[in-house]
Amino acid sequence: MPYELFYWPTIQGRGEFIRLALEEAGVDYIDVARRRGRGMGVAAMMKLMEAPAAHPAFAPPFLRVDGELIAHTANILDWLGPRLKLAPANAQARRWTHQLQLSVTDFLVEVHDTHHPIASALYYEEQKRESRRRARIFIEQRIPKYLDYFEQVLESNPQGDRHMVGRSLTYVDLSMFQLIEGLRYAFPRAMAASESSWPRLVALHDAVAVRPRIAAYLKSKRRIAFNRDGIFRHYPELDL
Amino acid sequence: MPYELFYWPTIQGRGEFIRLALEEAGVDYIDVARRRGRGMGVAAMMKLMEAPAAHPAFAPPFLRVDGELIAHTANILDWLGPRLKLAPANAQARRWTHQLQLSVTDFLVEVHDTHHPIASALYYEEQKRESRRRARIFIEQRIPKYLDYFEQVLESNPQGDRHMVGRSLTYVDLSMFQLIEGLRYAFPRAMAASESSWPRLVALHDAVAVRPRIAAYLKSKRRIAFNRDGIFRHYPELDL
């Protein structure tokens, strides 16, 4: 049975962190809401979310495997990690990997709220003034706070600074790639001005980008382009 | 060795979800930043955060056990759960418990941002206008969105609606207690007007409150009172 991923079909969003792991592993998966036909599409995703279930999901993304629904990006990656050989075998190291992904989760909320500081239910245009205030402080303080931390994790990895955890690729490395990609798209001037502060993260980003399966994925139609519906959005007025 | 919890000493905050689990289990723990003396206090917490470490924490709370640092509330609870007998033994059910706690995590960010929609680094008074806009929509849309979901989880629990998971108490039940407490403190008018929509959650809250160890804890000095430095804050102008 292929993995069934349920996520919004027109954005990278949180689902992208899972897509990257599935793509790197080269496993069979169905991106349900992006397919057409019986039991596919956004309608199928919504139907599944609203159906009575033992373990209902609060929101996409969620994964269906053998009838079990698993939700929350970091939780899905923690589950997939060992199965895709993208997490350490050791339980303590796996918990550390998950802990790092939970910091990614927190950061993504802050990225999203640069363009939606008042409410997700309102349009950006309805909270533009507040977005400007929030984005300015986000660029000044929060990007460095998180990226300094992740850089330090690379630097202090006893097994070398090429990976976040241990000496081989994990899903958190893929997530670092995606964070750098997203920040460059959303805040190109801010990133150009400051990303030399995070040389190890940039090197990790570059190393992930040329992995054969990731490179093929990024060139494929399966990779949705960044756009103004996702978490990372480019509004020049919010950049440096 | 007692568990060592590191968290801000003057607020309930995210640390409270861990304190409640430790208190319910009746285990020995040291709330390090609240103690005085050698190796104690906020200074000790900051020192530990800044010291070189294999697994540095991004932010409090974190727990130290046998030299290992574990951070992120939901991750700590996932680790503590089986040890404190506050999580199911079965791996799938434990993952589901963790998944629910991750929705609590998301909700807490939204609660916090009702009084800090622009930046944590600014005072509430500097973002009061934006807070009013955010809190209005939070009360109208987000409280019902989350509490309807948690109520539905109770309702659809195949083992009965007295617990979130299975037939016995887990740390997520304690978290539900804390959410209801916090929302009642922060938004008393909004909660009075709407909490009858969530009878199972309120019943769970009440059942947790009278558990002997929790009741004793709530009366003790160990329970920090809600205040205007925490996640749940009462500003009448943000309430209904």
Q: Look at residue B235 in the predicted model and tell me its pLDDT.
A: 98
- B130 and B70, same structural domain? no
Q: Look at residue A216 in the predicted model and tell me its pLDDT.
A: 98
Read off the pLDDT band of B1 (50, 70, 90): confident
Phi, psi at B64, each rounded to 5°:
-115, 125
- B101 and B145, same structural domain? yes
Interface of A with B (CB under 8 A): 52-56, 58, 68, 70-72, 74-75, 79, 92, 95-96, 98-99, 102-103, 105-106, 109, 113, 117-119, 121-122, 127, 130, 133-134, 137-138, 141, 146, 149, 152-153, 156, 158
Give the CATH number, domain containing residue B184: 1.20.1050.10
Residue A119 domain boundaries: 91-211
- B176 and B147, same structural domain? yes
Q: Is residue A229 part of a domain?
A: no
- B29 and B123, same structural domain? no
Q: Is residue B71 part of a domain?
A: yes
Which of B64, B83, B102 is the last residue before a domain boundary? B83
Q: Is residue A233 part of a domain?
A: no
Residue to test with chain A: of B58, B77, B92, B175, most A Cβ within 10 A: B58
- B178 and B102, same structural domain? yes
Size of interface A-B (CB pairs under 8 A): 99
Q: Is residue B49 part of a domain?
A: yes
Read off the pLDDT band of A1 (50, 70, 90): confident
In angstroms, what CA-CA distances link B133 with A109, A125, B193? 19, 15, 20
Summarize pLDDT for A133-143 with one digit per residue, the tens: 999 999 999 99
Q: Look at residue A109 in the predicted model and tell me its pLDDT.
A: 98
CA distance A95 to chain B (A): 8
**Of all residues in chain A, what percent carry a pLDDT higher than 70?**
100
Chain A partners of B155 at a C-beta cutoff of 8 Å? Answer: none
What radius of gyration, in Å, describes the C-alpha atoms of chain B?
Answer: 18
Summarize pLDDT for B169-182 with one digit per residue, the tens: 999 999 999 999 99
Domain count, chain B: 2
Q: Residue B58 contacts by C-beta under 8 Å, 6 or more apart in sequence?
A: A103, A106, A146, A149, B71, B72
Give the CATH number, domain containing residue B78: 3.40.30.10
Q: Is residue A100 part of a domain?
A: yes
- Per the prediction, chain B carries an average pLDDT of 97
- B178 and B134, same structural domain? yes
Residue A66 reports pLDDT greater than 90? no
Residue B151 reports pLDDT greater than 90? yes
- B107 and B17, same structural domain? no
Q: Is residue A79 part of a domain?
A: no
Chain A partners of B102 at a C-beta cutoff of 8 Å? Answer: 72, 74-75, 105
CA distance B212 to chain A (A): 30
- B162 and B114, same structural domain? yes
Q: Look at residue B51 in the predicted model and tell me its pLDDT.
A: 86
CB contact under 8 A, B96 and A55: yes
Q: Is residue A169 part of a domain?
A: yes
Summarize pLDDT for B94-135 with one digit per residue, the tens: 999 999 999 999 999 999 999 999 999 999 999 999 999 999
Residue A53 reports pLDDT greater than 90? no
Q: Is residue B226 part of a domain?
A: no
Taking the C-alpha atoms of residue A76 and residue A87, their distance in angstroms, rounded to an integer, is 12
pTM of the model: 0.97
Taking the C-alpha atoms of residue A20 and residue A26, their distance in angstroms, rounded to an integer, is 10
